[in-house]
Amino acid sequence: MVRVPQEPAPDLLRIATIGSVDDGKSTLIGRLLVESGSIYRDQLASVERTSQLRGDEYLDIALITDGLRAEREQSITIDVAYRFLSTPRRRFILLDCPGHVQYTRNMVTGASKADVVLIVLDVRRGVLEQSRRHATIASLLRVPHAVVCVNKMDLVDWSEDAFDVVRAQFEDYAARLSIVDTVFIPTSALVGDNLTRRSEHMQWYEGPTLLYHLDHVYHGADRNLIDLRFPVQLVIRPHSSDPLLHDYRAYAGQVVSGVVRPGEPVVILPAGIESTIESVSSFDGPLTEAYPPMSVRLTLMEDLDIARGDVICRPGNRPQVGQDLEAVVCSLTPAPLRPGNA
């Protein structure tokens, strides 16, 4: 059988949309999906019917991401909504995070795996307390890239001065954070200006549209390709009478950092047992190498006692093993943290 060479898969970018309540996060994502052709006709028709039944005078695009009944009744986002978008250059996972302070912990879940945070601000209200809280959490989670969409520009007559005021507010606060790459884009999610097409109302803005910028964000340098860390999530032992599979043992997980290849020596912690990688494979078949954030399975030359939670790394590049650690703890409860509390 002749294997036809396949085109390399487009790059994947995870984007968490954060910000305060009613700043337009869900509408922005919905408009981005509609204008990029990422919504099926039946989905759009369902949103149109729901908008009519609610008596809305316009198509409420926010309903594309607000799928829970309580979200549609209250016009707020409660749970993290996952939507997918692709271009010839890149694939995107869009995470619409709730803005209400009551659901901040849901926002943390959405932003914890993000490569980019998309911070949406209402140009009339500026940087609010919840906006600052979300930006701070994104910084604590070490999200390296941020796009600040100063939204609802149509409600201030597309004013450059209004945009500059909000930009200065956020820049002053962000100077205390660890987000190293921040871009500001004036947008109107309701009518689609500067999302996938340049705005005719804001000729003073000379930067890229939102989709163009997201399509060209360089995040390859954000990954650690030196220190191999492979936490074992599952030990695969097929229950089969096939003699070829009787002794099969593989270890599945996600490559957190580093690069792993067949034939390379490794050590399994905490036992400290050394071995050699026999094969690296994914759902699509054998691989010559695996790197973050790929989920793969590894086989070793020897049969070893390895369990979920063990870490596979390089013999000469081991993580520090100890009982004490230093961490930044983000508490989402009004009660203060005290020693001895669960």
Q: What is the CATH number of the domain that holds 291?
A: 2.40.30.10
How many separate domains does the chain show? 2
**Residue 66: inside a domain, yes or no?**
yes
Q: What is the pLDDT of residue 2?
A: 40
Mean pLDDT score, 168-175: 93
Mean pLDDT score, 63-68: 55
Q: What is the pLDDT of residue 66?
A: 54
Q: Give the structural domain span for 83.
A: 11-222
Same domain, yes or no: 98 and 208: yes
pLDDT digits (tens, 9 = 90+) for 185-215: 999 988 889 999 999 999 999 999 999 999 9
Say how far apart CA 253 and CA 72 lie, in whole Å.
37
**Residue 339: inside a domain, yes or no?**
no
Higher pLDDT, 65 or 109: 109
**Final residue before a domain boundary, out of 178, 198, 222:** 222
Question: The whole model's pTM is what?
Answer: 0.73
Tokens of 259: 């690069």
Same domain, yes or no: 200 and 247: no
Same domain, yes or no: 137 and 260: no
Same domain, yes or no: 299 and 170: no
Same domain, yes or no: 55 and 152: yes
Name the nearest CA neighbour of 205 among 154, 264, 160, 262: 160
Q: What is the pLDDT of residue 15?
A: 92
Is residue 183 predicted with pLDDT exceeding 70?
A: yes
Same domain, yes or no: 159 and 55: yes
Is residue 252 predicted with pLDDT exceeding 90?
A: yes
Question: Percentage of the chain surpassing pLDDT 70?
Answer: 81
pLDDT digits (tens, 9 = 90+) for 286-329: 999 998 888 999 999 988 889 999 999 999 999 987 888 887 77
Q: Give the confidence band of 60 by pLDDT, cuts at 50, 70, 90.
A: low
b/e per residue 136-159 (b: at least 16 CB within 10 A) = bbbbebebbbbbbbbbbbbebebe
Same domain, yes or no: 17 and 62: yes
273: Cβ–Cβ under 8 A, 6 or more apart, which residues? 267, 304
Q: What is the pLDDT of residue 7?
A: 47
Residue 91's CATH number: 3.40.50.300
Amino acid of residue 175 = A
Same domain, yes or no: 212 and 303: no
Say how far apart CA 96 and CA 25 lie, in whole Å.
7
Q: At 43, give phi and psi (nearest 5°).
A: -65, -45
Same domain, yes or no: 268 and 206: no
Q: Give the confidence band of 245 by pLDDT, cuts at 50, 70, 90.
A: low
Q: Tell me the torsion sign for CA atoms 256, 262, 267, 268.
A: positive
Is residue 271 predicted with pLDDT exceeding 80?
A: yes
**Residue 329: inside a domain, yes or no?**
no
**Residue 183: inside a domain, yes or no?**
yes
How high is the mean pLDDT of the chain?
83
Q: What is the pLDDT of residue 195?
A: 93
Same domain, yes or no: 198 and 243: no
Mean pLDDT score, 268-274: 92
Same domain, yes or no: 173 and 196: yes
**Final residue before a domain boundary, out of 222, 242, 259:** 222
**Final residue before a domain boundary, out of 222, 242, 258:** 222
**Residue 325: inside a domain, yes or no?**
no
Mean pLDDT score, 136-160: 93
Mean pLDDT score, 87-106: 84
Lowest-pLDDT range of 26-40, 48-62, 86-100, 282-296? 48-62
Is residue 229 predicted with pLDDT exceeding 50?
A: yes
**Residue 338: inside a domain, yes or no?**
no
**Residue 2: inside a domain, yes or no?**
no
Higher pLDDT, 236 or 241: 236
Q: What is the pLDDT of residue 184?
A: 96
Same domain, yes or no: 234 and 215: no
**Residue 248: inside a domain, yes or no?**
yes
Mean pLDDT score, 208-228: 87
Q: What is the pLDDT of residue 52?
A: 57
